[in-house]
Structure 1
Amino acid sequence: MDLDLFSRCCILDLDLSCGEANAASGMAVHDECKIKFLELKAKRTFRYIIFKIEEKQKEVIVEKVGEPTQSHGDFAAALPTAECRYAVFDYDFVTEENCQKSRIFFIAWSPDTARVRNKMIYASSKDRFKRELDGIQVELQATDPTEMDLDVFKSRAN
């Protein structure tokens, strides 16, 4: 069965007028997402936050938080291997001038092993969700762990 673009978009519930999926414009963001992000940003209460889209509720929720003592390795290990997620990571580093600094990274995790539908939902909702988190300094798109390893964080932080 050969479908034209319009038919495929209707099947996938895409809105051609704005170029985004209806799921993106109708995707709610649970208040806890914003609250936890503000705590990470202002109080440094967490090292990272992993967010998950609950498809049935059409809502982004907090799935997991990492304590301030947790490492980049702990964060990477907390991401699922076959499902997409959004995440923020508070990356601490020391500049060449020996100044302690921090950058808040937004990571769009979309592993190659994730289902196509899962990838599409996360991709179409990303920009709207990211706008809810005021204070993101660096964005990473990662499809496998090497695209967000510590060296990538180091190179993108400056």
Structure 2
Amino acid sequence: MDSNTLVSPLTIEVYKALKFGKKLRYIIFELSSDFTEIVVEKTGDFVEQTDHTGPYNEFLSNLPKDEPRYAVYDFNYKGPKGDHRNKTIFYLWNPDDADIEKKLAYDSNTDALRRLLTGVDMEIECTDLSELNYQDVLHKADRST
């Protein structure tokens, strides 16, 4: 971890709105251009829906194709018995085509953010969108119960 990188206080407040307030479905975080601060780039509102793939696909469409990001997603799904389940998932999105300096910066600063996000149920590190297929993530979430 780079000891000079800070997590902005707003970042933690926005995370609490997702985790405890159920006001947000997802948060995408980025490193500032000088790599000194982790900040909120984008959020998605929490909307109750029976089709959980729609919000998830919206989230995926907001991940830049060739830029690393951190993200948290409030993953809601039905369990095998039809019961409502929920997992808070932390993502390190570090695409293969990203600039090597940025990839290294995101890798080395992941812990600075992750340690402050209490209540995360699972983590996914990914380099390609194919690794984020809804059904695959659903299977991982259901296995981690």
TM-score, normalization: structure 1?
0.82
Q: CA RMSD in A?
A: 1.2
Aligned to 2:73: 89
Bigger relative contact order, structure 1 or 2 (CA pairs below 8 A, ≥6 apart): 2
Aligned to 1:50: 28
Distance 1:57 1:118, change over 3 A: closer
Mark the structure with the bigger radius of gyration: 1
Tell me which amino acid in the other structure corresponds to 2:69.
R
Secondary structure at 1:88's aligned position in 2? strand
Quick one: distance in 1 between partners of 2:33 and 2:114?
Answer: 18
Q: Which string of whole-angstrom CA distances, capped at 9 and with x for unpartnered residues, describes residues 42-81 of structure 1?
A: 1111110000000326000000001113611000000101
TM-score, normalization: structure 2?
0.89
Aligned to 1:39: 17
Quick one: distance in 2 between partners of 1:27 and 1:120?
Answer: 13
Aligned-residue identity in percent: 29
Could you tell me whether the CA contact under 8 Å between 1:91 and 1:153 is conserved in 2? Answer: no
Aligned to 1:98: 82
Secondary structure at 2:20's aligned position in 1? helix
Quick one: distance in 1 between partners of 2:108 and 2:28?
Answer: 18
Quick one: distance in 1 between partners of 2:93 and 2:87?
Answer: 18
Ranges of 4+ aligned residues in structure 1 off by more than 4 Å = none
Tell me which amino acid in the other structure corresponds to 1:45.
K
Aligned to 1:63: 41
Tell me which amino acid in the other structure corresponds to 2:101.
R
